[in-house]
Amino acid sequence: MGAVRSAAPRSGASPAPAAGRGPLLEARGIAKAWGGRHVLAGVDLTVGPGTLVAVTGANGTGKTTLLRICAGLIAADAGRVGVGGLDPSRDRAAYQRRVGFLAAGDRGLYARLTTRRHLDLWARVSLLGRRRPAAIERTVAALDLAPLLDRRLDRLSMGQRQRVRLAMAFLHEPDLVLLDEPLNSLDEHGRELLVGALAALGRRGGAAVCCSPAVVAGIPFDRALVLDGGRLRESSR
C-alpha cells in the first residue's frame, strides 16, 4: 500500500450531508459462496465519513464479490450491508443515490456514443434533475474530460475510457464510492486525477473503498485491509 494514514477521518473533513454521525458503510457477517466454494465467510467492514480504505488480496479471494455486495449489485448469502442505515434491497433507489461503483475491467460503456452522451445519459438515469448540468461540469473538470467530450468511446484509448468509467462512479456525488481496480490502464495524469477526485470526496465527508490485488502506490489511504481466507484483516504493511 502507498502511504497509509491513521484510521481516523481526515482532519478538516466536513460531515457528509446525509451521513449522520454513524459509519457510512457498515457490513456485518457478510458470507457468499460461489458453486459451493465459500469466498466470503463473515466479513465485517465499517467505513466512516471521510475515510479512504484499501482492500487488497490475492486473485480469487473475493474482493470483487465484496464490493459488488456493498454496491447492492448482488446479495450476500448471509449478513447485512448498509450505507447510512439504508438497505440495498429495501431502500434501493435511495441507496443507489448514495453509492458510486466502478466495476473491474473495461465494460459498461457504449462504443458508439460520445463521452458527452455517456455523462448526460447516466446523469439523467441518476435522477439528478436540476443538479445535472453542474454535476456534469464538475465531473468533466475533475477527470479532465473536456478534450474527450465529443469523441466516441470506441475511439478512445483504454486509459481514457477508464477515466470516463470513473466519471460515472463520481458523477452523481455519491457519499460512498466503491472502486474495483481503479488504476487499470491509467497513466500518471489519470492517477493524479483519481487522487484528486478521492480527495474532493473526502473533503465533503464522503468515503471510498478501493480494491486491487496488490499494493497501490500514490493513493493516500487511511486504512489498508487484506482479504484472506474469506475474512478481512488489517494489513501489516
Partner 1 sequence: MRDQLEAAWAIFRRDLQIFLSYRGQAASHAFSAAFSIALFYYISRLLQIREFESPDAYFAFVVVGLVIMAVLQSTLVLAGAVRSELVAGTFERLLLSPFGAVRGALAMMIFPIFLALAIGVWTLLLATVFFGLGLRWETAPLALPVALLAALAFSSIALLATAAVIVFKQAPGVGALVALVTLVSGFYFPTALLPGWIGWTSEVQPFTPAVELLRNVLAGLPLSEPAWLAVAKLLGFALIVGPFAAWVFARGIELGRRRGTIIEY
Closest distance between partner 1 and the C-beta of residue 40, in Å?
12
Distance between CA atoms of residues 42 and 121, nearest Å: 37
Q: Minimum distance between the CB of residue 123 and partner 1, rounded to whole angstroms?
A: 8
Of 11, 21, 129, 236, the one binding partner 1 by CB under 8 A: 129
Cβ closest to partner 1, residue 96 vs residue 160: 96
Q: CA 222, 197, 82, 2: dihedral to nearest 10 degrees?
A: -30
**In angstroms, what CA-CA distances link 111 with 156, 160, 161?**
9, 13, 10
Nearest distance from C-beta of residue 35 to partner 1, angstroms: 10
Compute CA 227 distance to the chain's CA centroid, rounded to the nearest angstrom. Answer: 17
Do the bridges between strand 223-228 and strand 231-234 make them parallel or antiparallel, or are there none, so unpaired? antiparallel
Which region, judged by CB under 8 A, interacts with partner 1, from 69-77, 180-188, 215-223, 229-237? Answer: 69-77
* Dihedral class, residue 165 (left if φ above 0, else alpha if ψ from -120 to 50, else beta): alpha
State which residue, 120 or 195, has the beta carbon closest to partner 1: 120
Q: By the criterion CB under 8 A, which residues form the site for partner 1? A: 32, 34, 65, 68, 71-75, 89, 92-94, 96-97, 99, 101, 103, 105, 107-110, 112-113, 117, 120-122, 124-129, 168, 172
